[in-house]
Amino acid sequence: MMLQLTMHLHVYKRVDLTAFVRLTCAQTTCKCLSFQPCWPSASDFSDLASILSQPLIRPSPPASACYPPSHPSGNCTDVLSRLDDGPWRDNLPGAMQSINFESFTFDNGTIDACYYNTTQGYSCDQGNIPIIGVDARTVADIQAGLSFAAKHNLKLVIKNTGHDYLGRSMARGGFMLWTHNLKNITYNEHFVQEGAPPNSQTYQALTLGAGVQWREAYTAANHYGRVVVGGISSGGSVGAAGGWILGGGHSMLSPRYGLGVDNVLQFILVLASGEYVTANAYQHEDLFWALRGGGGGTFGVVVSVTYSTHDKLPFTSISLSVNFSTAAIAQNVTTEYFAMLPELSNAGWGGYASMSPAGLMALNFASNDSVAQGNATISSFLARVQAAIPNPGDFGVLPQSFPSFYDAYLAFFNTTGQVGGTNELFTRLLSLEIAKDQPEKVAKAALGVSTGVSFNFVAGGAVSRVDPDSAGLNPAWRKAVGLLNSGISWNEGTPTAEIDRLRKQAASDLEVLDTVSPNSGTYFNEASLYEKDFKTTFFGSHYAQLKSIKHKYDNDDLFLVAEGVGSDDWNKSLTCRL
């Protein structure tokens, strides 16, 4: 039986490519930007608009509503009150979830921006936001946008939700392809990949359009009595069929079911050539391999992703809160926490934690049939923690039961927050082996980070049981138990010199995390823009193969993102070839 959720339905059609006009980027060594003489004319944009299903979009800084009379549209009070509202922000083509990526910094340290804090006294400028783009609602819209960008040699930006910690979906002077409104959701109880031989395995599968977000995907999966492995964020603003999956896709469900890339059955996408293709285990197999962890915005424009789903089971959470009264207690308890993770991941548990010399907070989850497997590990850990805490008021634990993962998700993550501020991350995968054999070393490293550390318990278990070379994902993931992350932030208007000082401190803290990371590997979607060797850190031994596939499908580098495959052939701003 095939069921379809009627959300923002758009029909995807295969388009005759004989009329697809394309000029190669090799005609020049630099991309054309909106403030340069090479920028297309009004007539050129009018011709483009005539073949699109929607009017061209002209993204503006969300804070522009606070700058009358030069920017009179919008409601400033509404903008400021919804600053940390992810679902509100993701509906704005000019908004990023981390607002620092809406700003642009020149080489001399001058910042071009439209600040939400109007008391700074600055004018409202476009910043890092492209001035024009395509609101893609059909495959033909995507093809037309790509053809136009290639013909005029434009710096192309692909944006869905703006939930991007490396700012890859914005670019000053760029041309935006906005996929946020591709909202198809289809469930098929007997899905078979295109091109599969007769009598192949069938799957209970969920197909998600490029603009679907996890809050929508979880609701749909629950509607059909299923569970899908996906990202977790307050408000569910992360895209379910874009950068999350293309970078690997971690989840608190990953120790039980694997990463996002381990659950993908098929991609449908538009290539740089304009060709509309299917990539799976039977067609464009090399592209299917690369798309699973090789990076978003690199190989093509994804139209939809199909995921296998899992049975809906009762779900359990355990919340833990510990205050540290001494450094010795902090080291002791944090060591115990990391020591239990390898065994707990093998039992299918996952979750999140944060720690500093002041205390530890952890939230662990498991399906009920995994709870029994993990009970001995959890109980032993809690007993040791309780024994280490002299004041009973410094220790709290709360177990909760839920009918399903979806109910737990709504209870903990159906909120606002997590977005709307300045944010730059630095992260490292935590070695499964070191956590098991040297947990005290991990604790010392985590507690030694000046800004504190969060831990995404999203690997080990099922993740570690997958062949490291089965997908383009960095093989370091298969040797990890989760992701250590920290970051820096600052107030709007902070001088560039102070931001640079914070970045230097972050680089120093990152060296501490390197000591417990498998080959200094990390997650492409949650990392620093200032990696010393991004090719190894993000892609490991797979980089050369990924770059070969990149050249096969996009030899002219129409698709480029910061620290992505192929970006090493371009300057830092990705505007001129080296």
CATH class label, 315-403+421-530 = alpha beta
What pLDDT sits at residue 68? 84
pLDDT at 73: 66
End-to-end CA distance of the chain: 53
Q: Which CATH class is domain 42-178?
A: alpha beta
Residue 2 pLDDT: 43
Q: What are 507's two structure tokens?
A: 């680089």
Domain spans, the chain: 42-178, 185-312, 315-403+421-530
Backbone angles phi, psi at 492, to 5 degrees: -55, 140
8-state DSSP, 71 = B
* Nearest partner of 374 among 351, 345, 338, 347, judged by Cα: 347
* Cα R_g (the chain), whole angstroms: 23
CB 60 within 8 A of CB 94: yes
Q: What CATH number labels 185-312?
A: 3.30.465.10
Tens-binned pLDDT, residue by residue, of the chain (578 aa): 444 443 433 333 334 443 343 333 344 689 999 999 999 999 999 999 999 999 999 999 999 999 987 666 678 999 999 999 988 999 999 999 999 999 999 999 999 999 999 998 899 999 999 999 999 999 999 999 999 999 999 999 999 999 999 999 999 999 999 999 999 999 999 999 999 999 999 999 999 999 999 999 999 999 999 999 999 988 888 999 999 999 999 999 999 999 999 999 999 999 999 999 999 999 999 999 999 999 999 999 999 999 999 999 999 999 999 999 999 999 999 999 999 999 999 999 999 999 999 999 999 999 988 888 888 999 999 999 999 999 999 999 999 999 999 999 999 998 877 789 999 999 999 999 999 999 999 999 999 999 999 999 999 999 999 999 999 999 999 999 999 999 999 999 999 999 999 999 999 999 999 999 999 999 999 999 999 999 999 999 999 999 999 999 999 999 999 999 999 999 999 999 99
Instruction: Please provide residue 156's backbone torsions phi and psi, each rounded to the nearest 5 degrees.
Output: -90, 135
Q: What is the pLDDT of residue 370?
A: 82
H runs (alpha helix) in 94-193: 139-151
DSSP, collapsed to helix, strand or coil, labels residue 476 as helix
* Pairwise CA distance, residues 167 & 180, whole Å: 16
Q: Give the residues across from 226 on adjacent strands.
A: 311
Model pTM score = 0.94
Q: Both tokens of residue 285?
A: 């197999």
Q: Which residue has the tokens 């830092």?
A: 572
> How many Cα atoms are found within 13 Å in the side-chain-facing hemisphere of 293?
31
Can you give the pLDDT at residue 255? Answer: 97
How far apart CA 166 and CA 526 sit, in angstroms, is 7
Alpha-carbon torsion 501, 504, 508, 513, what sign? positive
Report which of 229, 192, 190 is spatially closest to residue 310, judged by C-alpha positions.
Answer: 229
**Closest alpha carbon to 211 in 243, 259, 188:** 243
pLDDT of 18: 36
Which of 466, 487, 490, 486 lies closest to 476, judged by CA? 466
